[in-house]
């Protein structure tokens, strides 16, 4: 940076050459390496210079031919100039002083009694004041942005809760129609065991579905209140895979999705809660069946990788768009509501998966090459010593 660039650049706007010489003298008395003075005598040219913004401060004479320094001040502010503008006047007049202050002048100085020291001080104070103002403005902007972000997050959470309530009502209402129909059929078919047995099976399926939804809801509420307790024991992950596969096989059969199970031959010891880990893997498998078209495939595998044991669920299903993959584990998040409505779900399964993984000292990640390209979920759990 050159010396001139480091100096405070001041533009004197004054149509009187003598005044310019006087001001220049005062600037010579000031510290020469701190200030650089330019001069402009024409009102319109001065405004062009103001608009170009090449100066840090402006000294403006009150008398500018047919116009006044107040006109220039007002025009400069209208152009968006925020630099300090100090008005200079021959004789101090209270009304002009007041008008200048209201129009945003940084100071109002009487030329007759002006010394280099007083002028330098007025410039220095105005510039400092401006710097504090800028700093304050920056902080206000920063806080406003932070508040706006917090507000957006709250609005988003609120929206998701509203959507969740609608989904919940829908999901709880859904099984009630077949339940009522079954009861009606049974009443009309008393004595016909085959019809009654079919209706009972339907009742059982629908009630189980409702119980599952309500259990998930209770789990979410326990987790968010920090009330979920794990019953830890040493387990081999192969047992978890067996239990979760057994529980979800009917879903795969119904969805016509082929499930392949691959369990590494070495021990896969973890310390965990058998019920919760089965629930975790069950949710992932359930989703693989739910979000894969008939004829597709899913693979669940368990293996060791260094200090961790991995559970992996991969499918050839609808996949997850990259823009939502980061929020897929958030509670009440569903990628496609129309699809999920027909599939049945509350958007809390993956939230539970993540909470359970984290409570076990592990983590879960999701990946997908995109819509229609399948998904993969990997759960990492700390390996313990062999059982
Ligand atoms: P739910 O399945 O009840 O909607 P989840 O929390 O289990 O809720 O899943 C959240 C969302 O993540 C689902 O609505 C779905 O959009 C997406 N998702 C979960 N698993 C898969 C998967 N295997 N393939 C594609 N999308 C999935």
Ligand 1 pocket residue status of 288, Cβ below 6 Å: yes
**What pLDDT does 56 receive?**
96
Backbone angles phi, psi at 111, to 5 degrees: -65, -35
**How far is ligand 1, taken at its centre, from the CA of residue 104, in Å?**
58
Q: What is the pLDDT of residue 1?
A: 45
Distance CA 128, CA 84 (A): 10
For the chain, which ranges sit under pLDDT 50?
1, 3, 340-342
Angle at 236 between CA 233 and CA 241, to 5 degrees: 115
310 CB within 6 A, ligand 1: no
Q: What is the pLDDT of residue 340?
A: 47
Short-list 278, 240, 264, 236, CA closest to 387:
236
Q: According to the model, what pLDDT value does residue 387 have?
A: 63
CA of 322 from ligand 1 middle (Å) equals: 14
Q: Are 216 and 349 in contact (CB under 8 A)?
A: yes
Q: What is the pLDDT of residue 253?
A: 97
Give yes or no for residue 199 CB within 6 A of ligand 1: no
Q: How far is the CA of 348 from the centre of ligand 1 (A)?
A: 9
For the Cβ of 340 lying below 6 angstroms from any atom of ligand 1, the answer is yes
The CA angle 241-242-243, to the nearest 5 degrees, is 95
Going from the Cα of 297 to the center of ligand 1, the distance in angstroms, rounded, reads 16
Distance 334 CA to ligand 1 centre (A): 6
DSSP string, 184-212: HHHHHTTT-HHHHHHHHHHHHHHHHHHHH
Q: What is the pTM of this model?
A: 0.65
Q: What pLDDT, on the 0 to 100 scale, is given for residue 305?
A: 96
Distance (Å) from CA 182 to ligand 1 centroid:
30
Which spans in the chain are helix H? 3-6, 17-29, 43-52, 69-78, 94-102, 116-173, 176-188, 193-224, 237-255, 274-290, 322-325, 337-343, 349-359
Nearest CA to ligand 1 atom 21: 287
Separation between Cα atoms, residue 81 and residue 83, nearest integer Å:
6
Span 45-75, pLDDT tens digits: 999 999 999 999 999 999 998 999 999 999 9
Q: Which atom of ligand 1 is nearest to the CA of 328?
A: 12
Structure tokens of 353? 């998966």
Q: Phi and psi of 96, rounded to 5°?
A: -70, -40
């Amino acid at each position: 940076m050159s010396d001139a660039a480091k100096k405070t650049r001041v533009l004197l706007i004054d149509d009187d050459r003598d005044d310019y010489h006087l001001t220049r003298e005062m600037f010579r008395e000031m510290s020469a390496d701190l200030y650089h003075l330019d001069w402009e005598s024409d009102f319109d040219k001065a405004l062009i210079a103001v608009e170009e913004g090449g100066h840090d401060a402006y000294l403006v004479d009150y008398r500018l031919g047919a116009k006044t320094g107040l006109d220039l001040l007002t025009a400069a502010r209208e152009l968006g100039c925020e630099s300090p503008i100090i008005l200079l006047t021959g004789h101090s007049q209270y009304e002009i002083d007041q008008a200048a202050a209201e129009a945003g002048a940084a100071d109002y100085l009487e030329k007759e009694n002006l010394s280099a020291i007083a002028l330098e001080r007025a410039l220095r104070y105005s510039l400092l004041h401006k710097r504090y103002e800028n700093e304050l403005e920056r902080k206000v902007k920063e806080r406003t942005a932070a508040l706006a972000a917090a507000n957006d997050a709250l609005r988003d959470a609120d929206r998701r809760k509203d959507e969740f309530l609608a989904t919940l009502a829908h999901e709880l209402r859904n099984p009630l129609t077949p339940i009522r129909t079954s009861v009606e059929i049974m009443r009309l078919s008393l004595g016909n065991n085959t019809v009654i047995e079919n209706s009972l099976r339907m009742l059982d399926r629908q009630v189980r579905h409702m119980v599952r939804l309500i259990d998930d809801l209770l789990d979410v509420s326990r987790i968010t209140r920090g009330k979920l307790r794990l019953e830890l024991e040493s387990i081999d992950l192969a047992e978890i895979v067996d239990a979760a596969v057994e529980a979800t096989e009917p879903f795969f059969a119904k969805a016509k999705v082929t499930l392949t199970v691959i369990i590494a031959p070495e021990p896969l010891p973890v310390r965990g809660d058998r019920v919760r880990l089965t629930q975790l893997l069950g949710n992932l498998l359930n989703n693989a069946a739910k979000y894969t078209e008939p004829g597709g495939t899913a693979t669940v595998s368990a293996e060791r990788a260094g200090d961790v044991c991995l559970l992996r669920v991969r499918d050839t299903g609808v996949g997850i768009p990259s823009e939502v993959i980061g929020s897929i584990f958030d509670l009440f998040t569903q990628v496609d509501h129309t699809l999920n409505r027909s599939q049945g779900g509350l958007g809390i399964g993956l939230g539970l998966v993540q909470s359970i993984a984290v409570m076990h000292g592990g983590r879960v990640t999701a990946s997908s090459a995109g819509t229609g390209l399948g998904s993969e979920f990997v759960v990492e759990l700390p390996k313990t010593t062999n059982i």
